[in-house]
């Protein structure tokens, strides 16, 4: 990259910008007071993911940009920041609304910590604005979103001061988990450990099993022989990675999984529930003998609940590792069952194709979520 040259070209421009830049709190003091708050397990906002009638509005503090990512990063460097965050969203997305109105508005500590350490650049996954990426490629927003596989909105990509991708989040994460993501990048844990390992240390499983797992009648019973390496299975596979004493898992089971239409769709899968911290034996889709703990680590599972979808041959084709509600979950289930991943480059493009074709399915209620 041509970061040094870009830094010089932006120096005088940033001097002018800095005159109008808000003064943030002392960096060390703010970092010391920025707590993960994993005890606040009930801070997931209520999200009705039915279509939104109005457009989402970005916070005024999001970065003004000419969509040249190298220049955007250089400007952030001159302001002493850790890097930039690319926010991929869409106008009527309920999950984007939750990120913008809760994490990036109501949670003052998140707003301050994010503004202190990053410039946030908003991109529309359907947009036509021209973006110059870090490699000098010139392409439209929608093409960059497709290339980066950020159609599951909101998606955030964290870039460090040297242009290295440190982390990406797909979907909505409530404040207590979003704080963990920010600290993981700002305090440079990405240099020494995976995000899943960091989150396991930051929010370890309970020492004792305080509550049982949520059970459903569509879950297969052990032993978990999921091998598809020698034969093609009759049904696709859906693995629920959960944990005991998991508030987010309780929400999943009490809301979208209680819907009869959703349950009927899941029954068309081979559905398995695993405690990601357990030593329960598993024969993976690839034919490897493992345990739930080892396999979840290999897959990079860092959040519960996470739903991982495999095709009939045992290839992972999709996963949901963020907050999900009724209409989005229905849409993804239909996407997998119809093998939409074989006919469209991503989930949102498949939805667009279905809507243009006038397909009247349950998932059509989820307008751009």
Give the model's pLDDT for residue 277: 93
Give the model's pLDDT for residue 367: 42
For 56, the token pair is 């989402």
Give the model's pLDDT for residue 208: 57
Closest to 145 measured CA to CA, from 129, 159, 160, 161? 129
Q: Which domains does the chain have, with CATH numbers?
A: 3-202 (3.40.30.10), 224-365 (3.40.30.10)
Q: What distance in Å separates the CA atoms of residue 290 and residue 272, rounded to the nearest whole number?
A: 15
For 158, the token pair is 């964290």
The DSSP bridge pattern shows strands 165-170 and 130-132 to be unpaired
Give the model's pLDDT for residue 247: 87
* Residue 220 burial (10 A CB sphere; 0-12, 13-18, 19+): middle
Give the model's pLDDT for residue 12: 37
Q: Judge whether residue 23 has pLDDT over 50.
A: no
Helices assigned H by DSSP within 269-319: 292-298
Closest to 177 measured CA to CA, from 248, 84, 255? 248
Residues 311-329 have pLDDT tens digits of 999 999 999 999 999 999 9
Report the predicted TM-score, pTM, of the whole model to 2 decimal places: 0.85
138 vs 33, higher pLDDT? 138
- Mean per-residue pLDDT, 187-195: 94
Q: Which residue is listed with tokens 């908003």? A: 122
Residues 288-298 have pLDDT tens digits of 999 999 999 99
Q: Judge whether residue 236 has pLDDT over 80.
A: yes
- Within 10 A of 74 (CB to CB), how many other CB atoms are there? 26
DSSP-derived secondary structure letter, 109: H
Tell me the pLDDT band of 84, cut-offs 50, 70 and 90. very high
DSSP-derived secondary structure letter, 208: S
Residues 112-130 have pLDDT tens digits of 999 999 999 999 999 999 9
Phi then psi for residue 80, to 5 deg, are 75, 25
Q: Judge whether residue 207 has pLDDT over 90.
A: no
């Amino acid at each position: 990259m041509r970061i040094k040259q870009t830094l010089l070209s932006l120096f005088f421009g940033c001097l002018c910008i800095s005159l109008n830049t808000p003064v943030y709190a002392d960096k060390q003091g703010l970092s010391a007071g920025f707590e993960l708050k994993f005890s606040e397990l009930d801070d997931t906002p209520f999200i009705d993911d039915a279509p939104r009638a109005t457009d989402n509005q970005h916070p005024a503090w999001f970065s003004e940009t000419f969509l040249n990512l190298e220049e955007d990063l250089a400007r952030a460097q001159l302001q002493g920041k850790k890097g930039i965050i690319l926010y991929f969203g869409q106008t009527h997305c309920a999950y984007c609304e939750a990120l913008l109105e809760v994490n990036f508005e109501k949670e003052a500590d998140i707003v301050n910590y994010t503004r202190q350490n990053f410039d946030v650049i908003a991109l529309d996954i359907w947009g036509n604005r021209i973006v110059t990426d870090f490699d000098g490629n010139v392409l439209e927003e929608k093409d960059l979103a497709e290339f980066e596989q950020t159609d599951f909105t909101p998606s955030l990509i964290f870039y460090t001061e040297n242009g290295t991708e440190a982390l990406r989040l797909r979907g909505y994460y409530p404040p207590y988990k979003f704080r963990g993501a920010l600290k993981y990048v700002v305090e440079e844990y990405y240099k020494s450990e995976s995000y899943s390992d960091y989150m396991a240390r930051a929010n370890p499983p309970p020492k004792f099993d305080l509550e049982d797992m949520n059970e459903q009648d569509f879950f297969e019973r052990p032993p978990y022989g999921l091998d598809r390496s020698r034969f093609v299975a009759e049904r696709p596979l859906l693995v629920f990675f959960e944990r005991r004493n998991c508030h987010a898992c309780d929400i999943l089971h009490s809301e979208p999984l209680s819907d009869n239409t959703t349950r009927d769709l899941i029954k068309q899968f081979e559905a398995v529930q695993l405690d990601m911290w357990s030593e329960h034996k598993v024969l993976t889709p690839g034919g490897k003998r493992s345990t739930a703990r080892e396999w979840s680590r290999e897959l990079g599972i860092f959040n519960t609940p996470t739903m991982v979808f495999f095709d009939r041959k045992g290839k992972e084709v999709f996963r949901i590792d963020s907050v999900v509600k009724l209409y989005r979950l229905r849409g993804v289930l239909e996407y997998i069952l119809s093998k939409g991943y074989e006919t469209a480059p991503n989930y949102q493009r498949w939805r667009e194709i279905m809507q243009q074709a006038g397909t009247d399915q349950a998932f059509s209620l989820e307008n751009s979520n």
